[in-house]
Structure 1
Amino acid sequence: MAGAERETSAEPATADREIVISRVIDAPPELVFEAFTEVRHLSRWWGPEGFSTTTRSFEFRVGGEWDFVMHGPDGTNYSEWITWTEIVPPQRIALLHGESRDDPNAFESTLAFAPDGAATRIVMRTVFPTRELRDQAVERYHAIEGGEQTLSNLAAYVAELTQRQGSTGQM
């Protein structure tokens, strides 16, 4: 059939353990990537609506770690830990994310930054060790809504940076 496209790729083996969230952000990949990789930026937008972040330590390099606390709107503190497993500026970041370095339930995330016209399409793919852990993250911690809100916060922050950059000529 003319004009029709057929999906030929098979569903990944991890599909039952994944959450995939995507968003187009109105800025070039280099700027979106920078907002994701520098602690001075991350602390301004990371997390779902109403959350704030306090960084204990941050080293953005393969094998480096980000040790931080997310503060929920209800006053609950959530200890978090990330180690970077792959960094390909400004295209891709892979990481392992848990509550601590020895968290047996830590999950893997891959962030892909691709040009979409003058904007950037970011795809965040998270793979949990088990389907049960993925389901728990979705049901108990609202991981899908939280991820969408986090990328929305990123988009708003990058828009602010772009506006500031346009008026001052620097970031």
Structure 2
Amino acid sequence: MTDTADREIVVTHEIDAPPALVFEAFTDVRHLSRWFGPDGFTTTTKSFDFRVGGEWDFMMHGPDGTHYPNWIRWREIDPPKRIMVDHGSFRDDPDAFESTFTFEPVGDRTRIVLRNVFPTKVLRDQAVEKFGAIEGGQQTLGRLANYIVAGTHHQEEPQ
């Protein structure tokens, strides 16, 4: 058991695509806006700067019409293996949590692991109970898989 086990949520999903292709779906806002978020949600981006220290400021729209402000700062980008971010409702949110996405090759597939670590157990429990964070994480990774497998995501072939 890690020292963060009572403050974390871990969700995994296998995608029928290589890690480079799955990783690419995180690097371009055109892709993110088509799959990011739980089932029934849409995403509107205010600003997007994919680089270490860059930020993604966006609004998630729930199926019930509720709007959820979101903000991400990219902390680590290691293509095509890993992305680490700070994720909150707004810049410098004291309740922001750390999200790490790892992209592990499994044959010609990718196992993506999403690990969220919250500042406190109370915030982790609130994310699970009030916001359905485990189901939401599973649905988000499922939407990513469907987006890639459906062929709506295209990676340019090397010349």
Q: Please, what TM-score do these two structures have when normalized by structure 1?
A: 0.89
1:78 aligns with 2:68: yes
1:122 aligns with 2:112: yes
Distance 1:124 1:13 in 2: 17
Q: Which residue of 2 aligns with 1:157?
A: 147
1:24 aligns with 2:14: yes
Distance 2:98 2:5 in 1: 13
Q: Which residue of 1 aligns with 2:123?
A: 133
Distance 2:150 2:26 in 1: 15
Shift of 1:102: 2.0
Give the counterpart letter for 1:75 in structure 2. Answer: G
Query: After superposition, what is the alpha-carbon deviation per residue over 1:75-131, rounded to whole angstroms, capped at 9, x for unaligned?
Result: 010110000000000000000000001211000011000100100000000000000
Shift of 1:36: 1.5
Shift of 1:56: 0.2
Higher percent of residues as helix? 1
Q: Which residue of 2 aligns with 1:42?
A: 32
Shift of 1:160: 1.7
Is there any run of 5+ residues in structure 1 with no aligned partner, and where? 1-10
CA RMSD of aligned residues (A): 1.7
Q: Which residue of 2 aligns with 1:6?
A: none
Give the counterpart letter for 1:158 in structure 2. Answer: I
Q: Which residue of 2 aligns with 1:112?
A: 102
Q: Which residue of 2 aligns with 1:5?
A: none
Q: Which residue of 1 aligns with 2:89?
A: 99
Shift of 1:161: 2.4
Distance 2:93 2:37 in 1: 20
Query: After superposition, what is the alpha-carbon deviation per residue over 1:30-57, rounded to whole angstroms, capped at 9, x for unaligned?
Result: 0000011210100000000000000000
Which of 2, 14, 24 aligns to 1:12? It is: 2
Aligned length: 158
Which of 18, 43, 58 aligns to 1:68? It is: 58
Q: Please, what TM-score do these two structures have when normalized by structure 2?
A: 0.95
Distance 2:27 2:121 in 1: 29
Distance 2:115 2:102 in 1: 8
Percent of residue pairs bearing the same amino acid type = 65
Give the structure, 1 or 2, with the largest relative contact order (CA under 8 Å, sep 6 or more): 2
Distance 2:74 2:120 in 1: 21
Is there any run of 5+ residues in structure 2 with no aligned partner, and where? none
Shift of 1:165: 5.1
